[in-house]
Amino acid sequence: VRETKAFNADVLMPEEDPLRSVLNDLLHHRAWSTSAQDLAKKLNVTPRTLTRHFIQATGMNFRDWKHRMRLIFALEKMANGSSVKSAAILAGYGDASAFSIQFKNLYGSCPRDFFKSDS
């Protein structure tokens, strides 16, 4: 059994619909290429309004939120046995090295070392 860490405590899902529903759909379909403009269009609001509401609901802008959710998605895949390369591709990264750099910037260790115990 692999040790898991609380890696998504700092990423909030908005409580109110329709934003929550659209984001759940994005995550379910792994629509990682969705932009803030795409999201604003789906919600029938201006990008500026979306940004204001998104920051209020999640504490971060859409781009940063999506970036973290992609990393969380990849972490979950790795926790369930996927290789770093496979998890990176499923999370929408072009290659494992780009993923590893982003991962290390956020979590402070490379993906292979993340689940190693401290003992």
- Within 10 angstroms of residue 43's Cβ, the number of other Cβ atoms is 16
Mean pLDDT for the chain overall: 87
Domains and CATH numbers, the chain: 19-114 (1.10.10.60)
Reply yes or no on whether the pLDDT at 7 is more than 80: no
d(CA 62, CA 104): 21
Task: Say which residue, 61 or 12, is predicted with more confidence.
Answer: 61
d(CA 67, CA 60): 11
d(CA 66, CA 5): 20
The alpha-helical segments, DSSP class H, found in the chain are 19-28, 36-43, 47-58, 62-79, 84-90, 96-107, 111-114
Reply yes or no on whether the pLDDT at 115 is more than 80: no
Report pLDDT for 119: 45
Mean pLDDT of all residues in 15-35: 92
Q: Please, are residues 111 and 99 in contact by the beta-carbon 8 Å criterion?
A: yes
Report pLDDT for 5: 43
- pLDDT of 51-73, one tens digit each? 999 999 999 999 999 999 999 99
Reply yes or no on whether the pLDDT at 4 is more than 50: no
- pLDDT of 99-109, one tens digit each? 999 999 988 88
Q: Please, are residues 114 and 75 in contact by the beta-carbon 8 Å criterion?
A: yes
Report pLDDT for 10: 64
